[in-house]
Amino acid sequence: MTIQWFPGHMAKAKREVSEKLKFVDIVFELVDARLPLSSRNPLLDQILQQKPRLVILNKADLADPQQTRLWQGYFESLGFAAVTVNAHDSSATKRVIQAAKLALKEKIARDKARGLKPRSIRAMVVGIPNVGKSTLMNRLVGKKIAQTGNKPGVTKGQQWLRSGTDLELLDTPGILWPKFEDPDVGKKLALTGAIKDQLLHLDDIAIFGLDFFARYYPGRISQRYRLTEVEEALPAAEMLMVITEKRGYKDDYDRGSELVVVEVRQNKLGSFTLDRYEEMGVGSGETRVDK
């Protein structure tokens, strides 16, 4: 499955991010902790270049904790600061601010030595759609300013927001890249809701999700959908047919597919991480950036 989706507002956002970099001290790059690598836009490395960066693994409460620890270590091995958060949790603000100050400690020390008055950190928030940018922004500023929605493409324009005396935040629209060369990346993004459902075949995504859970979290499917061991061992397409029938949808496999996808997104099958650290070929951390 090759997915191509690059709306005009995303192309404009890419240009605006490049233009506004000079106004910020650091970039907050949000990724989904359930797919830390697949939810990164590879174009951002070209755009952001050597600008200090804090990678925020959001939705950590929905992800596999062991995998999240490995991925945080991976980003740190690249020379980035990294922090794990749940944007809905009140502790997220303190964790992000502390991590940002630590990432900029050398700059802060230089400014102090030059006799400059302390000022708030200016940060740009970037990430692909549906990684929780608006939710985090609202958490950081302590009120609902940034628009949120459980679907991609909610934020359409840039806006500055103030977080107490510590942070000034520049929000940006989510930026997807023009095409996903790796079909599994597209399926992972689709399963977590980063791509509009209208662009997908939900049965393909449901089958992908069932196959993933059967492989990495055995027993969860049978527990959720009351399958026998024999039924859970079926190929994912046949398993979807069984689930559809058991839920009383007869042969309405579109409805069965929607059920599976929605329940995976709602963590009805438990926390999970789609990007498996041990299988993504990133363990060496050979690529570094200058802070």
> Please, are residues 291 and 100 in contact by the beta-carbon 8 Å criterion?
no
Please write the tens of the pLDDT for every residue from 29-85: 999 999 999 999 877 888 888 899 999 999 999 999 999 999 999 999 999 999 999
What integer pLDDT is reported at residue 163 of this predicted model? Answer: 78
**pLDDT score, position 146:** 53
Question: Is the CATH code 3.40.50.300 the one for domain 8-178?
Answer: yes
Domain ranges for the chain: 8-178, 201-265
Can you give the pLDDT at residue 148? 47
Q: Is the dihedral of CA 276, 208, 266, 137 positive or negative?
A: positive
pLDDT of residue 160: 75
d(CA 209, CA 215): 10
Alpha helix locations (H) across 5-126? 8-20, 43-48, 65-77, 92-103, 105-113
Report the pLDDT value the prediction gives residue 17, as an integer from 0 to 100.
80
**How big is the CA angle at 175 (ends 75 and 65), to the nearest 5 degrees?**
35
DSSP codes joined into one string, 87-101:
TTSTTHHHHHHHHHH
Tokens representing residue 160 in the block: 């500055």
Per-residue pLDDT of the chain (291 residues; tens, 9 = 90+): 455 545 555 566 677 788 888 889 999 999 999 999 999 987 788 888 889 999 999 999 999 999 999 999 999 999 999 999 998 898 999 999 999 999 999 999 999 999 998 889 999 988 887 888 888 888 888 877 655 444 444 444 556 788 778 899 887 766 766 566 788 888 999 999 888 787 778 999 999 999 999 999 999 999 999 999 899 999 999 999 999 999 999 999 999 999 999 999 999 999 999 999 999 887 654 444 444
- Residue 230 CA to residue 81 CA, distance in Å, equals 46
Which pTM does this prediction carry? 0.86
Which residues, including other chains, have CB under 8 Å from residue 114's CB and lie 6 or more apart?
none
Question: What span, in angstroms and rounded, lies between the C-alpha atoms of 184 and 205?
Answer: 10
Cβ neighbourhood burial of 15 (10 Å; 0-12, 13-18, 19+): exposed
